[in-house]
């Protein structure tokens, strides 16, 4: 193909050249969630598929992956734990401490090891390994809130979705974090390989897809 005449073809050439200079690997694009093209607002991943585009909510998607991995680990005999180098003391209301301590054995099965620590505090010694580096204090406070809702009659496994969901939320990539292309493509590939990854733990979608036909309709081309 002849090179476009830059001096004459001012309107069409630049956009055409962007697509020509496209470095997206066609093989990657053939995956259901496509090839990453951009991250916008440090929160959404935009990917190009063979016949459209996909927008992923990075936090919701990652949270779902962590949650599914926790469920798998539980089914396979327990969630791996990771000891904190420095056990973390978390101050809480007395009632919250009681709720956590009552459930300590169940929480340990989920990978969280804590004990009462004097009055109005617990000490966290181990956290679920798959959460990675996590704010243990914030996690424990949110779990204490969850437990208030669980009540005493239910076992935690009945409310696993809530408890694991809270843990997964703390272990997941936040909105607002910049991600590299490799990281984003890896996230998409993991989503494709993970059951139920199209919905977050609260039932909201983790991604939306626009087919070219949908886009054409938006622009009145169809
Ligand atoms: Zn979350």
CATH number at residue 113: 3.30.1370.100
Q: Which residues have their alpha-adjacent CB atom under 5 A from ion ligand 1? A: 63, 169
Report yes or no on 56 lying in a domain: no
- As for how many domains the chain has, the answer is 1
Report yes or no on 86 lying in a domain: yes
pLDDT at 74 over 50: yes
Q: What range does the domain containing 156 cover?
A: 77-170
Lowest mean pLDDT among 16-25, 43-52, 63-72: 16-25
Report yes or no on 212 lying in a domain: no
Q: Which residues pair with 89 in a beta bridge?
A: 123
Ligand 1 centroid distance, CA of 188 (Å): 18
Percent of the chain predicted with pLDDT > 70: 86
Report yes or no on 159 lying in a domain: yes
Reported pTM: 0.78
Report yes or no on 197 lying in a domain: no
Closest CA to 100 of 77, 73, 129, 124: 124
CB count within 10 Å of CB 34 equals 25
Among left, alpha and beta (phi > 0; psi -120 to 50; other), residue 176 is left
Report yes or no on 152 lying in a domain: yes
Predicted pLDDT at 45: 93
192-208: average pLDDT: 90
pLDDT at 55 over 80: yes
Report yes or no on 165 lying in a domain: yes
Ligand 1 centroid distance, CA of 60 (Å): 6
Report yes or no on 157 lying in a domain: yes
């Amino acid at each position: 193909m002849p090179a476009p005449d830059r001096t004459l073809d001012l309107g069409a050439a630049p956009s055409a050249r962007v697509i020509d200079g496209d470095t997206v690997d066609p093989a990657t694009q053939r995956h259901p969630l496509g090839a990453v093209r951009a991250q916008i607002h440090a929160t959404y991943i935009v990917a190009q598929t063979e016949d459209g585009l996909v927008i992923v909510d990075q936090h919701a998607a990652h949270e779902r992956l962590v949650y599914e991995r926790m469920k798998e680990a539980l089914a396979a005999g327990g969630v791996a734990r990771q000891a904190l180098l420095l056990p973390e003391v978390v101050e809480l209301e007395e009632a919250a401490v009681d709720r956590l301590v009552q459930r300590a054995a169940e929480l340990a099965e989920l990978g969280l090891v804590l004990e009462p620590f004097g009055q109005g505090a617990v000490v966290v010694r181990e956290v679920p390994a798959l959460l990675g580096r996590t704010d243990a204090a914030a996690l424990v406070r949110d779990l204490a809130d969850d437990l208030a809702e669980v009540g005493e009659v239910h076992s935690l496994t009945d409310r696993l979705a809530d408890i694991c969901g809270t843990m997964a939320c703390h272990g997941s990539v936040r909105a607002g974090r910049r991600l590299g292309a490799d990281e984003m493509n890896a996230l998409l590939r993991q989503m494709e390989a993970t059951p139920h990854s199209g919905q977050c733990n609260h039932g909201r979608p983790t991604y939306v897809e626009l087919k070219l036909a949908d886009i054409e309709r938006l622009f009145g081309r169809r």
